Structure 1
Amino acid sequence: MAIFSVCEAADKQPPNIVLLFIDDWAWNGSPVPMDDAMENSRMPVLQMPNVERLAREGMKFRNAYASPQCSPSRVCIQTGMSSPRSGYTVFMNDHGQEYYDEKGYKGFPVVPCISDMTIDENAVTIPEALKPLGYVSAHIGKWHMRGDPGDEGYVLHDGDTSNTPGNTLPDNAKQRLPDDLTDPKLMFSVTEKAIGFMEDQVKARQPFYLQISHYAMHEGRECLPATREKYVRHPAVQAYYEKLGTTAEEVTRKSDPAIWLGMGEDLDGRIGVVLDRIEALGIEGNTYVIMVSDNGYRHSFLPGLTQPHHGAKWWVWQGGIRVPMIVKGPGIEAGSAFDGNVINYDLLPTFVDWAGGDPESLKQIDGVSLASYMAGTVPNKDFLHRNLYFHYPHYRSGMPHSAVVSGDRKLLHFYDRPDVPMLFDLSIDMGEVHNIAETHADQHQQVYDQMMSYFEQVGARIPKPNPDYDAEVYKQAKEYDERVQWGAFEGSRHLEEDEK
């Protein structure tokens, strides 16, 4: 029974849109297989019945993509722009070139780029696009784009939040999980505030957009103590303790997989509360729910959990950009799946389409509406083979590099090794083990030229060779071995043990 009565014309009202935005969550980070034919496209240890419920009731996306770091991904969603177009390609370097000099990048092979620091004032964001269509919008939880969410049209929000509020425990690697923790990663209070917004809009018979941007699953690890206890005796968790030479009683919070797994289960419970309240409010038949991660990740702490992808967050290898995504709502077939490539900057035009607007009216964006495909339209070749662009012209644990995904083909370009062309066939090589650029030189050149032409068209910043490059300085960097291992290569790379 609905908590509030719904008017007879409710089914004619524009649909509500709820985005469940999860932080740092790998493509294979839930018990839902993103590819039914791949056992390692899921994490069976983790219990998430509500995420499984979403998959049963909606459509899962086998090939969903995002940015390799959270802040650019958030800007992509808000603006419908790719990162190279928006210029917001990383969060960290808010001091320009001086940041890289201070961090010890001065003698590295290329001169990295600076990044925009806020959403462009001329960009049309989700609330600004939906307001003329009669919507009111709220953003609850992690913002992490600098600036004021209210300036982008959100009537309810938590301000310019970063990761900090979600880390409710002191940043102490040796600290244990306290027994009195009741709101890990603020997921309970974030959910309560979001539900209050939904209830207010239903009372007012007002269509709404609600973005619930959780601080989970970002490090540091937090969960309810009782949830952790469900996982500490799991054989895989016990095996990990043994590998570390510790026990469930002695392991530190930062190293404890039981806390990470507990965080996932607690998050799933909050997702379930939102789904249940949507149903109780009588709006389930007129509400879209999207669950997606902000970037790829690498959850490799459990023995036996093999990884389908190479790389991790901060890299444009598949491990950094491929994400889980599930959508349910009016006209979406329950238990369905979509295999075409989709990306986070498709969401804004999709929302406008759902709201009854014209996605074509959005100018200077890169996304396309997915609404018709979710309703069952078979995508044509133009959609299936469109170019998706990824651009990370920076150093951190990674290095300046870019990528294009087009159908089953993927091009990577490392700016420190422009002499090494890289091309992969994802249909048979999801792990990006075999570089086929040498045997498909024409195809590589075509996609590379398209990428550089696009970068020039949108004004993307491109790293330049460093005239002060010092190989010895570069080798002394603590991330040097990983950069060599995860950088450009010819032929076939050595397959790491956990990528099978």
Structure 2
Amino acid sequence: MLNRKLCLVVIAALAFSPGKLLAEDKPNIVMLFIDDWAWNGSPVPMDDDMQNSHMPVLQMPNVERLAREGMKFRNAYASPQCSPSRVCLQTGQSSPRSGFTVFMNDGRQEYYDQKGYPNFPVIPCVSDMNIDEDAVTIPEALKPLGYVSAHIGKWHMRGDPGDEGYVLHDGDTDNKPGNTLPPGPQQLPNDLTDPKLMFSVTKKAIGFMEEQVRAKQPFYLQISHYAMHEGRECLPATREKYVAHPAVQAYYEKIGKTAQTVKRKDDPAIWFGMGEDLDGRIGAVLDRIKELGIEDNTYVIMVSDNGYRHSFLPGLTQPHHAHKWWVWQGGIRVPMIVKGPGIEAGTSFEGNVVNYDFLPTFVDWAGGNANELKNIDGVSLAGYMAGKTPDDEFLNRNIFFHYPHYRETMPHSAVVSGNRKLLHFYERPDVPMLFDLSKDMGEANNIAAQQPAEHKKLHDEMMAYFKEVGARIPKPNPDCDPAVYKDDKGFAKRLLWGPFEGKRPLEEDEK
């Protein structure tokens, strides 16, 4: 008997005639998925009016070229950790719906993580371990429309990409393959030629494009880079370009090191070199698309899998609070640029978009009907990229973030609706939190006390949605031991980045 996923794919296939399947006018789609990259981590200002919305030290001419030729998204959101973000991208589902909220458990299928944090204030939840069997993924949605799909690089969702419809892939990869050097404080070896596998990943991806162009076959290609994830690596010659930069030299002086003695994991020159090498590989893809004669019929998306906090340079101020693992803006706001047919060059989009919008967008681009997709949370952005003015319903829709786990974090959730953002910490439900992002991007001023009705509305809508999709919700722990909790190594960070009333003090690199 066919399982539900296969049935949905078969039904979708029957909706299109064979003559439409291989139509040569169908656009190609190339997704450049970058790992651990802050909203302000490129030289492209994500907000032209904000000085700290970019990183001008880093040289990325091809990313700047993408921004000139396409549309940048000021308010793009992702999940607070890479694996859930990848599942959102593949399925069009939010993390609360998919149940894949973290890459961090041992295969248990219980609702609660009863043994992981036995004396903490709340009992956190476990996460799903794989993409749900009945979820329709990007290649499964696009195949009936005549597409062939490849996934090159980091997968990090467990399972076999081939089972999700990818005809070419690197298997069940995680972060490890991208760390081509052993851990430790050593310097870069002089013979490093494929840092973070950037060059081999790009070569394989370009080979796939060439093969499909020869076959006149429309394709979806996801290039999931291991950069910019920690385990810093770059070509030695690229590092040398940044060692002498005054900001890098100031950092060496600040930590009492030199270019010869700094640890690899602490060296901003390697991080910058990694970014520039990545940019070169992005440029290689863009150049080959042009050489193959498919530039006018190919969408290129560049986006990060989660937010980050690049704070290693003196004087670099942070526009956001917190970083990866947290649903503060620093963990979920990401850079995003898209170019392709019908997208006006050099434009920007102000509305909120989120990683689970990609699947319906791709279906629309491919000539399908995104409205027929079932059990998804995303909406197609195709019309907005083509110039359609977003209405209030789109601009004020709720987008949801859910992290019911401990690590250095604490279980918490958020909903963003227009310029309003609500956060809910399950340890402290007595501390309501609401922010006006139009005036307070850094989330320093909690206005819940001034706008209790607005807080209640968003809180009730979030909890109703969680109930509707069956999201796992933490519960109070009757065995909580405050002394044990306080002694945990993550307590200081939780205190610093946990809930607060009124106004929080800015951190040193936020001033």
Q: What is the TM-score normalised by the length of structure 1? A: 0.96
Please say if 1:125 is aligned against 2:137.
yes
What is the alpha-carbon distance in structure 2 between the residues aligned to residue 202 and residue 383 of structure 1? 36
In 2, Cα distance between equivalents of 1:230 and 1:367: 42
SS at match of 2:509: coil
Q: CA deviation at 1:496?
A: 1.3
Q: Are residues 1:380 and 2:391 paired?
A: yes
* Cα distance in 2, alignment partners of residues 98 and 321 from structure 1: 25
**Structure 2 counterpart of 1:144:** 156
Counterpart position of 2:32 = 20
Kindly state the Cα deviation for residue 75 of structure 1 after the two structures are TM-superposed.
Answer: 0.1
Q: Is the 8 A contact 2:30 2:300 kept in 1?
A: yes
Displacement of 1:497 in angstroms is: 2.1
Match of 2:202? 191
Secondary structure, counterpart of 1:337 in structure 2: strand
Distance of 2:481 and 2:23 partners within structure 1 = 65
Contact kept? 1:93, 1:99, Cα under 8 Å = no
Secondary structure of the residue aligned to 2:143 is helix
CA distance in 2, matches of 1:83, 1:379: 25
Q: Give the equivalent residue in structure 1 for 2:362.
A: 351
Describe the SS at the equivalent of 1:129.
helix
1:168-204 deviation line (CA, Å, top 9, x unaligned):
00011x1111110000000000000000000000000
Query: What does residue 244 of structure 2 align with?
Result: 233
Deviation at 1:32, TM superposition (A): 0.1
Which position in structure 1 is the counterpart of 2:285? 274
Match of 1:445 among 425, 448, 456: 456
d(CA) in 1 for partners of 2:335 and 2:147?
27
Match status 1:85 vs 2:97: yes
Q: How does 1:191-230 map to 2 (within 5 A)?
A: 191-230=202-241
Q: Which residue of 2 aligns with 1:29?
A: 41
Structure 1 unaligned regions, length at least 5: 1-9
Indicate the RMSD between aligned Cα atoms, in angstroms. 1.3
- The 3-state SS of whatever aligns with 2:196 is helix
Distance in 1 of aligned mates of 2:51 and 2:503: 24
Q: What is aligned with 1:71?
A: 83
Secondary structure of residue in 2 paired with 1:450: helix
What letter matches 1:471 in structure 2? P
Q: Secondary structure at the match of 1:162?
A: coil
Match 1:287 to one of 291, 298, 311: 298
Secondary structure at 1:73's aligned position in 2?
helix
Relative to structure 1, the CA distance from residue 327 to residue 98 in structure 2 (aligned partners, 3 Å threshold; closer, same or farther) is closer
Tell me the residue number matched to 1:171: 183
Corresponding residue number in structure 2 for 1:6: none
Which residue number in structure 2 is paired with residue 310 of structure 1? 321
Q: Is the 8 A contact 1:11 1:286 kept in 2?
A: no
Looking at structure 2, the residues matched to 378 and 99 of structure 1 have their Cα atoms a distance apart, in angstroms, of 43
8 Å contact kept, 1:25–1:294: yes
Q: Does 1:464 align with 2:469?
A: no
Q: Deviations over 1:451-494 (max 9, x none)?
A: 00000000000000011000000000111111011000000011
Matches of 1:77 and 1:100, distance apart in 2? 26
CA distance in 2, matches of 1:276, 1:95: 43
Amino acid at match of 1:132: P
Q: Distance in 2 between matches of 1:168 and 1:12?
A: 39
Q: List alignment gaps of at least 5 residues for structure 2.
A: 1-21
Quote how far apart the aligned CAs of 1:102 are: 6.6
1:496 corresponds to: 507
Query: Do residues 107 (structure 1) and 107 (structure 2) align?
Result: no
1:422 aligns to what?
A: 433
Task: Show the counterpart of 2:375.
Answer: 364
Structure 2 vs 1, CA of residues 147 and 124 (structure 1 numbering), >3 Å: closer, same or farther? Answer: same
Paired residue type of 1:269: G
Contact (CA 8 Å) 2:402, 2:414: kept in 1 or not?
A: yes
Match of 1:51 in 2: 63
Q: Partner of 2:495: helix, strand, or coil?
A: helix
Q: CA 1:99/1:451 → structure 2, altered by over 3 Å: closer, same or farther?
A: closer
Per the alignment, residue 337 of structure 1 pairs with: 348
Task: Please say if residues 113 and 123 of structure 2, whose CA atoms lie closer than 8 Å, have aligned partners that are also in contact.
Answer: no
Which SS does the other structure have where 1:121 is aligned? coil
CA-to-aligned-CA distance 1:69-112 (integer Å, 9 cap, x gap) = 00000000000000000000000113447996776x22111000
Percent pairwise identity: 79
Quote the residue 1:5 is aligned against. none
